[in-house]
Structure 1
Amino acid sequence: MFTKILIILLVLSPSFGEDYYELLGLKRNADQKSIRQAFKKIAVTHHPDKNNDDPDAHIKFVKYTTAYEILKDPETRKKYDLYGEEGVNGNNNNRQQNYHSYSYYQNNFGMYDDDPEIVTLNRNDYHDNVINSEKVWMINFYSAMCGHCHHLAPIWRKIAKDLEGVIRIGAVNCEDDWSLCHEIGIQSYPTLLYYPKNSKHGIRFTSKKSYQEIMDFVMERLDVNIEEITSTVWKNSLKGIEKREKSMLVFICGDNHECFDNDDQIKITATLENILTTGIVDCYKINCNDISSSTTAVFIPGFKHKTKNPIYFDNTYAINDLVHQVLDQLPEPQEITSSDFKDIQKTLENNNDNEDGWLICFYMGHATEFDVQLKRLPSIINDVNLGKLNCGKYSNICRKLNINRYPMWGVLKPGGAFELSHGKDNINDIAKFAENSIKAKNVWALTADKILSILKRQNNNEAWFIDWYAPWCPPCIQFLPEIRKASLEFDKSTVYFGTVDCTVHSNICQNYNIRSYPTAMLINGTTTSQFTAQKTATNIIEFINESINPTVIRLNSNNFYKIVGKKKTKTLWVIDYFAPWCGPCQQLAPEWINVAKALKKLPNIKIASIDCEANSDICRSEGVKSYPNIRLYPIGSEGLDKVTIYNGPRDSTSMIKWITEFLPIKIIDLNDNTLNKKVFNSKNDIWLVDFFAPWCGHCQKLEPHFNIAAQLLNGQVKFARVNCDLYKYDCGRAGVRAYPSLILYDPKNKKMNKIDGKLLSAFTAEQIEKQVLNHLNFNYDHDEL
């Protein structure tokens, strides 16, 4: 039976006038699973196949599909949350949308969403949780349109249940997240990949996709150690003479004992990894007369355990039952007092790199509900101390730390910083927060006193990147991990990272005019710079580096007319007139920095920006009425009368290409005659020729950098271009086999030097300059020798 796919192509207007979250009936903090479930519910009731009497059914459903496509992807969702539809659509308001048939959404959509043991992964989840993970993963890359995938589904669900806690079982819908599947190289469905610990690439499962074959594949690869217990060790263990730092679970086997089979032993060992060790006693080799035949395992306490006597598990034959009973025997997580907390923080401050961080659960009443979570955490995260603090007993410390719900999880980091988790309270999210937070030693949840001291510049030696946020704000919660990532790139001596919870410090936020969340800024001495770019770690790093060592010149009322408006300028000025609140301006900012970096070696070109909110007099006098407004003041112009306004795409490549068209040194376009006469038969001039094709993307990216290189090498090398679509014969005679090809012709050495076109896609002007100078210097030095 063939599945019908209906594809609708529709030109959408710039705005539906409807909020995407409201359209799908979602709250703004909805997770990916909730988004899929909400869309599925809408799809099976509002699909055009089910509403043939509604002439607007197609248009309505495209709206729902568009909302889902934007919100399902973390990157586009982030842009939508920050900038609305304009941030998602950019300058292109023509979107092509397609959707599947009714039966697809009814039967195939979100195949594993209702299975708690299976983690449905998207691109971000895959890179953050699977790659280089401390846990083993097995992932099913499937298509909901694939019959074999549906045949595998019940098998995959059973495997997930039977391996729960042993490894992580995941699923990726390649119809829904095709870009991730394409990146990994998935070419057929279903594809099963096994990821060992700390791996970047999965091992492909190639056998028959049956339950037993898959289970055998996994079990063969689980790397666990089960110690074979000798008679002496066993006797000493039972007497408490054998001292072990970690507790041990011993399987009792042989001689009328119903033993867990080898696979079950491996599963239990993997589930309890990092919590305790496991061993096996073979009663055929060791006298087990003192052990009941109903005993399947024995818990041997470690020397730090409060119980010294072995604990016998009788008539326990199910894996989950045994694991639960073992966890019950483990010591309760350490109770921490307010004075303990202060002592731990002081120790961490004084021993920055020699102490493990602490994950602390703040609670009220009885802690039994989450004690099991704390006990299981060592099986997921390493090198972290675990504790719990009763806020009923120690309300002062909890109030000071801004604990406002229970349970709440916080991390004390090496170096003394403290940070609270605002995410979900399930074990995997807690572990992920703890790992990332402890790594980010330089991110501090700020107290009121510290915030005020920073804002009042009481210590001008410190630079702070401050994030003002609210825990209920989804973009804020998405931004916090990006801040942690960015902090890893900077030492405290350069910049500190601080977070301010505006639900806790509402008066401070109001007094300092924080109007929206998240708001981020860099406070460096007497200067405060607003962070307005898309809120990613890469952009934070770029912003801080740019603020400390700027490449874009910041013009204001004090210097604008003195340096730009002077007579007969020998400098080409390109200025971005912007407003901090303008979404397109914020999107332009990182691209504008890239423009400045590409052109920074040319002394006669200045890339600048003017904040029109802070310098409204300049923008008003220049007639700037919309933002961003990019203007070029050419070399040789007098005053500000001669100006060219840029109206093209706002990516760095396009803008650099436009600017370089105004540079004084021009590139010569060669034809078949001039190529022979000027280049091939040259007796004195050194030529660098760009052999290109107009349709070649790499050629288009190289073009502005080639123009810049011509300015840098002026007087040493002449620059030219040849369009190989027009002059194929001449390009072939020059040995051009790929585009772009840069060939340096040096008549002194009667030879040419060719740079492989494949390498040129990422070339900058500086790299071209370096390659040419290296070649010339080598040849001339060689001749002299």
Structure 2
Amino acid sequence: MYCNIFVLLIIISLSSGEDYYELLGIKRDANDKEIRKAFKKLAVTLHPDKNTNDPEAHNKFVKLTTAYEILKDSETRKKYDIYGEEGLSNGYKAKQYQSWSYYQNQFGIYDDDPQVETLNRHDYNEKVLKSESIWFINFYSPMCSHCHHLAPVWRQVAKELEGVVRIGAVNCEDDWHLCRQINIRSYPTLLYYSRHSTHGVLYTAENTRENIISYVLSRLDVRALPISTSLGKRIIQGLEATEGASLLFICGINRDCFTTEDHLKIAAILNNMVTVRVLRCSDDECDDTIPHDIGVAFQHNNKNMPSDPIFFEDIDDVQILARKVLEQLPEPQDLSEEDFLGIRTRLRSDLNAGWLICFYIGHATQLDVQLKKLPGIIQSINLGKVNCGKYSNLCKGLNVNHYPVWGVLKPGGAFELHHGKDSVHDIASFATESIRATNVHMLSVDEILSIMNNKKDSEAWLVDWFAPWCPPCIRFLPELRKASLHFEPSVVHFGTVDCTVHSTICRQFNIRSYPTAMLVNNSNTNLFSGDKIAASLVEFITEMQNPTVIKLTTDDFHLKLGKKTVDEIWLVDYFAPWCGPCQQLAPQWTLVAKTLQVLPLVHVASVNCELEPSLCSSQGVRSYPTIRLYPTGSKGLNRVALYNGARDSLSILSWVTEFLPVNVKNLNLDNFDDMILQRKEAWLVDFFAPWCHHCIELQPHYNIAAQILEGKVRFAKVNCENYRLLCRKASVRAYPTVMLYFPGQKYSNEYDGSQINTASASKIVRDVETLLSTASRSKRDEL
């Protein structure tokens, strides 16, 4: 997904002339929650049910629903942001809209709840499966009455367990991809996720507040430890210091020391920071040293001498008590400019633990209560803070331009600022990810100019140009860090440029949308146009380093294509780097090249017509992208086939493989027995239906496998829509079904072959060769 700077260009390109962001009344940097909120507000007033006198009410609401459906999904929003409605494949059609009461009462049950976090498929893996947190998640449908009955209970649970576990919700009407992936079969479904779990545990008890809270507390991995009367008294009297900070509940007949459940909640909130202990004593045992109205005491950890305890009185709420305890914990270490530079120098020379640093102005304790939880979450990372009022030059040099903001000093010396939500869990996730990604650098002005002006001759850089206000940019940053883990710095460095700070430089290098990622290597700059995920980025960099697509220039075009032999196929993409459809095609073209590289006779190439205008002109290229195929059976450029289909890899591959020299035989009722059952050679037969998508996906791989196995196996296919009786006799029960028939084998009335896995061309080839080898050994054994 992208955030475009030049909104006017997008508006002009819209075929309908209406901008989806304007229809919803939101900014182009709106996040998912803001999009949903804006749509709901408009839906309850503009719905046709509420505007029966307006004959255009239905059409208006369809446009509104379409705008919402497009913008709420990151993939369609990305295409719309870059290319407008024309970028949406086959013209997007909105789902059938709901009744007025749906948007009024049922649309996103937990959207506005502060304690319940709405999750989607884009953040589920990172926030839940890979997090240090414990999650309890409600998978629901707004159409489900039981979900609505549970809602007030779920909100109450979220409030009571705040800080203990993270309470989430997934709207399965909106995010059915995620719910289908997790195999949610009924609503509501409650799943409990322990730390680092790969799947949730199903909650099956009654959906009451008491049962749910009891279930959660029973699964926590924390405890309130009992303590002896004698040790408790010594702690209360300040005669003995415990190891670390301790919270002591003093329980007796007339003492209010909270409940056993509350002890567990406090222990979970203060986990890894404060030890929670419970002293149970009779009034006779404790009253001589502990006043009877004292039920809770806190002791600092003091390495040098026992510290006087702090007594908390008149507190009966777990959250208030937790806050009071957090206030007593030490603040992060104050760092001067000299301290900061010294730490960075040491990190450049060794790989010691990194630092998470808060940059602030004024009194930092406003942050401390919430962020003092950080040591319990990220125990292996050093914590510090820098007062930018005192050390303004340091903060300015680090691009700190708002407060408070968090940054990371990494092993190796790289520095990176946090962008995104400022919750303690988001900051902890950033710190953990960033310190692992030692090869990601926040670039200074000098570094940007050096990279872009090709002064760092021996170094390749993946540069991400972004804006902190752009939601797709914030989602891309963690993906960039993950991608960096796949490469050594000697191969490629990763750098980020904040275009709100370096606006002049971003304009200088013609950055028009956010995020823009490009690989800069000496004089070559390649724009990344794939999906903004780590896997696509890794594939892009690998392709640029070791290309499967041949880059043709004026110097070698005629040398290679002009001397093409009759046995070769050349597939060429003529493109311009500024062309939107060309950018969309680029990752698909790479996928085509990777799929076809198993065939030595096929060469996939590209020509950059901005760099080679005379070459493209001489070939009569008048639009971009232009895809041409130079087939077998002709030399040089004598024959050419033009491609005019959809620009996705499957469509292109299906077209290309029709030109391969080994043909796949079409079988029917008349020739099946003669060809297959009375043969002296092995046959591989694909039983398919023309409406079956998996069959369509298989077709190019099947054709490729036919070329590789030429001389070993004959290839054929049967259209089961036309020849249903034949497919029934062959025991075909699903499409596609690929069967290998051996020569010389006797068959009953139902044809019986060996079924083949059809994942890809290479898998088909491996399975067929294994079966042929097994059959050959079996014959030798019989002899």
TM-score (norm 2): 0.91
Match of 2:124 in 1: 126
- Secondary structure of the residue aligned to 2:497 is strand
Residue in 1 that maps onto 2:308: 309
CA deviations 1:551-588 (Å, max 9, x no partner) are: 11111222222211346553211111222222222222
Letter in 1 for 2:442: A
Cα deviation code 1:168-187 (max 9, x no counterpart):
11222223323323332333
> Which deviates more, 724-733 or 541-550?
724-733
Indicate the residue corresponding to 1:432 in structure 2: 429
> Do residues 214 (structure 1) and 212 (structure 2) align?
yes
Match of 1:413 among 384, 404, 410: 410
Q: Which of the residues 374, 385, 390 maps onto 2:387?
A: 390
Is 1:450 the counterpart of 2:447 in the alignment? yes
Partner of 1:699: 695
Residues 653 and 221 of structure 1: is their aligned pair in 2 closer, same or farther, counting only changes over 3 Å? same
Query: In structure 2, do the counterparts of structure 1 residues 246 and 29 end up closer, same or farther at CA, with 3 Å as the change threshold?
Result: farther
- Alpha-carbon distance, 1:403 to partner: 0.8
Equivalent positions of 1:635-646 (< 5 A) are 635-646=632-643
Q: Find the counterpart in structure 2 of residue 73 from structure 1.
A: 73
Q: Counterpart of 1:742 in 2: which secondary structure?
A: strand
In 1, are the aligned partners of 2:360 and 2:405 still within 8 Å (CA)?
yes
Deviation at 1:80, TM superposition (A): 2.7
Q: Distance in 1 between matches of 2:727 and 2:36?
A: 53
Verify the 8 A CA contact 2:739 2:755 in the aligned structure 1.
no
Structure 2 residue corresponding to 1:688, chosen from 664, 672, 684: 684
Distance between the aligned counterparts of 2:267 and 2:462, measured in 1?
44
After TM superposition, the structure 1 = structure 2 runs for residues 332-731 of structure 1, keeping only pairs within 5 Å, are: 332-352=331-351, 355-566=352-563, 569-683=566-680, 685-731=681-727
* Kept in 2: contact 1:534–1:587 (CA 8 A): no
2:297 alignment partner, SS class: strand
Over 3 Å counting, the alpha-carbon distance change for 1:332 and 1:70 in structure 2 is same
Contact conserved, 2:569 with 2:603, CA < 8 A, in 1?
yes
Report the secondary structure of 1:403's partner residue: coil
Question: Which residue does the alignment assign to 1:740?
Answer: 736
- The aligned residue for residue 162 of structure 2 is 164
Distance 1:577 1:134, change over 3 A: same
- What SS does structure 1 have at the residue aligned with 2:411? coil
Q: CA deviation at 1:659?
A: 0.6
In structure 2, what is the Cα distance between the partners aligned to 1:107 and 1:36? 14
Q: Supply the distance in 2 between the matched residues of 1:135 and 1:456 (Cα, whole angstroms).
A: 44
Match of 1:225 among 223, 248, 267: 223
Q: CA deviation at 1:388?
A: 0.9
**Which amino acid in the other structure matches residue 319 of structure 1?**
V
Q: Following the alignment from structure 2 to structure 1, what is the Cα–Cα distance between the partners of residues 601 and 452?
A: 38
Q: Cα deviations across residues 24-68 of structure 1 (Å, max 9, x unaligned)?
A: 121222222222221121112212222222221111111211111
C-alpha displacement of 1:215 = 2.0
> For 2:754 and 2:224, how far apart are their aligned partners in 1?
57
How far apart in 1 are the matches of 2:443 and 2:379? 27
1:70/1:76 contact within 8 Å kept: yes
Name the residue aligned to 2:135: 137
TM-aligned CA deviation for residue 673 of structure 1 = 4.5
Task: Give the RMSD, CA atoms, in angstroms.
Answer: 2.7
In structure 1, C-alpha distance between the alignment counterparts of 2:43 and 2:645, rounded to whole Å: 39
Instruction: Indicate if the aligned counterparts of 1:741 and 1:755 stay in contact, CA closer than 8 A.
Output: no
Q: Structure 1, residues 318-372: CA drift from partner, whole Å, max 9, x if none?
A: 21221111011101121111222123223333333xx333221111122121122
Residue 234 (str. 1) matches residue 232 (str. 2): yes
The 8 Å contact of residues 564 and 635 in structure 2, kept in 1 or not, is answered as: yes
Judged with a 3 Å threshold, the aligned counterparts in structure 2 of structure 1 residues 243 and 343 are, in CA distance, closer, same or farther, namely farther
1:9 corresponding residue in structure 2: none
CA shift at 1:265, angstroms? 0.6
Q: Give the equivalent residue in structure 2 for 1:48.
A: 48
Query: Structure 1 stretch 233-242 or stretch 611-620: which is displaced more?
Result: 233-242
Distance 1:602 1:28 in 2: 45
The alpha-carbon deviation at position 262 of structure 1 amounts to: 0.5
Would the alpha carbon gap of residues 115 and 746 (structure 1) be closer, same or farther in structure 2, given more than 3 Å must change?
closer
User: In structure 2, how many angstroms separate the alpha carbons of the residues matched to 1:474 and 1:28?
Assistant: 9
Cα contact 1:252–1:259 (8 A) shared by 2: yes
Segment drifting more, 427-436 vs 579-588: 427-436
Aligned equivalent of 2:3: none
> Aligned equivalents of 2:615 and 2:83: distance in 1?
27
Given that 1:122 and 1:177 are in contact with CA atoms closer than 8 Å, whether structure 2 keeps it comes out as yes
Change (3 A) 1:456 1:585: closer
| Unaligned 5+ runs, structure 2 | 1-12
Letter in 1 for 2:149: H
Counterpart in the other structure of 1:10? none
Partner residue of 2:182?
184
Q: What is the identity, as a one-letter code, of the residue corresponding to 2:558?
A: Y
Q: 1:401 to 1:718 in 2, by over 3 A?
A: same
CA distance in 1, matches of 2:582, 2:145: 48
Greater RCO, CA 8 A, separation 6+:
2
Amino acid at match of 1:464: W
Distance (Å, rounded) in 2 between the aligned partners of 1:415 and 1:304: 32
1:676/1:596 Cα in 2 relative to 1: closer, same or farther (>3 Å)?
A: same
Query: Do the aligned partners of residues 730 and 24 (structure 1) sit closer, same or farther apart at CA in structure 2, a change above 3 Å counting?
Result: closer
Q: CA 1:221–1:344 in 2, change beyond 3 Å: closer, same or farther?
A: same
2:320 maps to: 321
* SS of aligned partner of 1:530: strand
Partners in 2 of 1:337 and 1:82 — Cα distance?
Answer: 45
Instruction: Give per-residue Cα distances to partners, 1:436-482, cap 9 Å, x unaligned.
Output: 32232221111223333333444444321111223344443332222
Contact 1:467 1:521 in 2 (8 A): yes
Gap change, CA 1:736 and 1:101, over 3 Å in 2? closer
Residues 642-684 of structure 1, C-alpha deviation per residue, up to 9 Å, x if partnerless? 221112222222211111111111112223453333332223x
Deviations 1:571-615 (A, max 9, x none): 211111222222222222222111111110211111111222222
- Relative to structure 1, the CA distance from residue 781 to residue 660 in structure 2 (aligned partners, 3 Å threshold; closer, same or farther) is same
CA distance in 2, matches of 1:767, 1:190: 40
Aligned to 1:102: 100
1:725 deviation in Å? Answer: 4.1
Residues 1:242 and 1:658: Cα distance change in structure 2 (over 3 Å): farther
Could you tell me how far 1:496 is from its partner in structure 2?
A: 1.4
For residues 744 and 345 of structure 2, what CA distance do their matches in structure 1 show? 71
What's the TM-score, normalizing by structure 1? 0.91
Q: Matched residues in 2 for 1:452 and 1:94: separation?
A: 42
* Matched pairs, number: 765
CA 1:676 to 1:206, structure 2 compared with 1: closer, same or farther past 3 Å? same
| Counterparts of 2:113 and 2:717, CA distance in 1 | 60
3-state SS of paired residue (1:438) = helix
**Cα deviation code 1:67-92 (max 9, x no counterpart):** 111222233333333333333x22x1
Q: Using a 3 Å threshold, how does the CA distance of structure 1 residues 189 and 287 change in structure 2: closer, same or farther?
A: same
